[in-house]
Structure 1
Amino acid sequence: MATVDRKALTRWIEMATLAPSLHNSQPWRFRVDGDTVEVYADPARRLEVLDPEGREMIISVGAALFTLRAAIRAAGRIPAVAAFPDPGVPDLVARVRPGRIAEPGPDALELAAAIDRRHTSRRPFTAAVVPADAVDKLKEAAIHEGARLAVAGGASRTVIVSLGRAAADRLRRRGGYFAELNRWTRPVPGRLDGIPAHAIGPWDALERIPMRDFGVVDSQPSRRGEEFEAFPTITVLTTVGDAPAQWLQAGQALQRILLVATRLHLATTPISQPVEIPAIRDVLSDPRTGRWAQMVIRLGYGPPAAATPRRPVTEVLLAPASEV
């Protein structure tokens, strides 16, 4: 089997860094070991107030892992993945090796082409309904990664929106919340992480959408209110089980869903507040089946979203093990 040079591996890692993450915290690191890429969580970038257990950190790393897989597959290799391969190194989330050569199909090429076009939208969507066949493709994307995507009906959508508002209220009362929010939204010249002002969007004048209000901190300029869609398409991503393995699974499913949605010209907003309060997350989960809510995703049609900055690949690459 033909070997893969370091230049190709580095290019795929650079694509992986375009994955979404909580507050654009980019909590990942990578190491190239021969023809293998090691994917690590970076605990220094975990949000201590919002994510005390590291669940959302692992989901973010899972999204980067899927992006790495998609980049490798589009380059004509079958990625071989070993999740949490070393119990003695808990931050080592996966080892990924480009496996046998295989011509990528149209779906694989389209997924990879969507990587740098996928951006989180925090703006109002149009009233256009997301077609049933598009929803089916997104459900298939979740199933492909061992997860499930449920679309909220009218009544459950109202409940989720209400739960989102309740979660936001509780989070604002949590000690350190505003300081942490300010940390990731503070404008700093040349900053390559966090949420810049241009990506924050307006506030929902009618409070229909349970999105995080990044404009509540002093570092952000005042924003105008706009009217968001009256009947948003809200989905809930779930897994069977709620341990790091399932969080990693959820992150890979999330990114596959977002990339498929991008291919379908859909705008997307991952919404995490309802799953950041345990009591509210319990309501969205189903203890009878062991199915746990991992993320809420808003879908629709809207203007192109702005990109958020990314750290250069040199900042996320660890030194080879032989040099440590």
Structure 2
Amino acid sequence: MTAISPSRQVLTDCVRMATAAPSLHNSQPWLFRIGGPAVEVHADPSRRLPVLDPDGREQLISVGAAIFTLRLAIRGAGYRCRSATFPDREEPDLVARVFVAGPAAATPAVEALVAAVPHRHTNRFPFAHTPVPDDVLDHLADAARREGATLTVAPPASRESILRLAREADQWLRVRPGYRAELARWSGTGVRHDGVPMWAVGPWDALEAVPIRDFAESVPLPRPTEKFEPYPTLLVLSTDGDDRADWVLAGQALQRVLLTATWQNLSTTPISQPVEVPELRRQLTDPAGGRIAQMVLRVGHGKAVGVTPRRGLADVMLRRAEPAPAGPAVDAAPQPGQRAESRARVDRRYPGGRVQ
């Protein structure tokens, strides 16, 4: 039977799951602190990429992804939760405080997303030429909408424009002072618990259509070449605004989309170069709809690849704090229709529903 309040061990396990979130260059730029029935999520300033991400936008997207995964883990453990973004003006690196409330049975939607967490990874290899079904793309768009963002499928003309912008951005970044050194810091052949290992780098696209970031640039070894899918499926994730809170929101929506794609047996690749160059990012913005582009995703059916390494809990946990102030009042009773079900009965078509 689920306890009224989770133990520290339960919250520690939830933090461990949160560290599986994606991040720019697998920099894992987050820190956590458990205090009473709450978990604080901080941005780690030492892990910001100053050349590629001078404003910290992508760092906060990464932290947002960790926040969503933490919320999901808490719900999977059988508890409700609420989060407050930037709760303390005196602590700008305190991105969110997640408050844990009373017990609530995990829904099939939550179980599906929890099951996807250890299998989610970035795939930088070619995808099959098989198109992604429209109904699956609709599920991905709905996943973004449930977290307050918009996910748009690029039609053929827009797809070619996005790929062109991505290639231009990749070339612009490669000659930017400090970019190659920063890239080398987060890649290489040594044993480490962050960054992008060589086995995850992937080949060059022989068709020169899909720009995969060259993490192998600092390694004096020839990079293999393969033919990628000629017409990749591209998705643009956008938000209504473009402030720090919107970046965190984008990260939470991104992670829900990625986990939903994983549950659908899809592979994903962030193509972030065009949103890392301000002039090109503006070209992805929808002036009529007022939507601000935050990330471009490539999705498709790819072969299985490994999961990149993660830092241990000792590296991401801040010292124990005093119990956090009480969170927003919530009804701890389960929602109507919420009940425990075996994973064998979970509908694999789409893990919908809210993660609270």
Q: Does 1:94 align with 2:100?
A: no
Q: Does 1:244 align with 2:240?
A: no
Which deviations, in whole Å up to 9, do the C-alpha atoms of 1:158-192 show, x marking residues without a partner? 00000000000110111001000001012223x10
Residue in structure 2 matched with residue 292 of structure 1 by the alignment:
292
Q: Is the 8 A contact 2:188 2:216 kept in 1?
A: no
The AA in structure 1 aligned to 2:185 is R
Shift of 1:221: 2.8
Q: Is the 8 A contact 2:10 2:77 kept in 1?
A: no
Residue in structure 2 matched with residue 201 of structure 1 by the alignment:
202
Shift of 1:216: 2.2
Per the alignment, in what secondary structure is the counterpart of residue 125 of structure 2?
coil
Percent identity, aligned pairs only, is 54
Shift of 1:74: 1.1
Structure 1 residues 99 and 220, CA, compared in 2 at 3 Å: closer, same or farther? Answer: farther
Shift of 1:287: 3.4
Separation in 1 of the partners of 2:64 and 2:278? 21
Shift of 1:17: 0.2
* TM-score for the superposition, normalised by structure 2: 0.88
The AA in structure 1 aligned to 2:59 is M
Shift of 1:262: 0.3
Further displaced range: 91-100 or 150-159: 91-100
Counting helix residues as a fraction of each chain, which structure ranks higher? 1
Unaligned 5+ segments in structure 2 are: 323-356
Separation in 1 of the partners of 2:119 and 2:316? 21
Shift of 1:305: 2.1
The AA in structure 2 aligned to 1:181 is L
The AA in structure 1 aligned to 2:89 is P
Counterpart mapping for 1:160-239 below 5 A: 160-189=162-191, 191-217=192-218, 219=219, 221-239=221-239
Separation in 2 of the partners of 1:270 and 1:162? 15
Aligned length: 321
Further displaced range: 122-131 or 285-294: 285-294
* TM-score for the superposition, normalised by structure 1: 0.97
Residue in structure 2 matched with residue 110 of structure 1 by the alignment:
112
Q: Is the 8 A contact 1:164 1:211 kept in 2?
A: no
Shift of 1:306: 1.4
Counterpart mapping for 1:301-316 below 5 A: 301-316=301-316
Residue in structure 2 matched with residue 126 of structure 1 by the alignment:
128
Which deviations, in whole Å up to 9, do the C-alpha atoms of 1:108-149 show, x marking residues without a partner? 101001000001000000001100110000000000000000
Separation in 2 of the partners of 1:122 and 1:29? 27
Residue in structure 1 matched with residue 16 of structure 2 by the alignment:
14
Separation in 2 of the partners of 1:75 and 1:4? 9
Separation in 2 of the partners of 1:100 and 1:3? 6
Q: Does 1:266 align with 2:305?
A: no
Residue in structure 2 matched with residue 4 of structure 1 by the alignment:
6
Separation in 1 of the partners of 2:302 and 2:153? 19
Which deviations, in whole Å up to 9, do the C-alpha atoms of 1:239-292 show, x marking residues without a partner? 000000000000000000000000000000111100000000000012344311
Separation in 2 of the partners of 1:112 and 1:220? 39
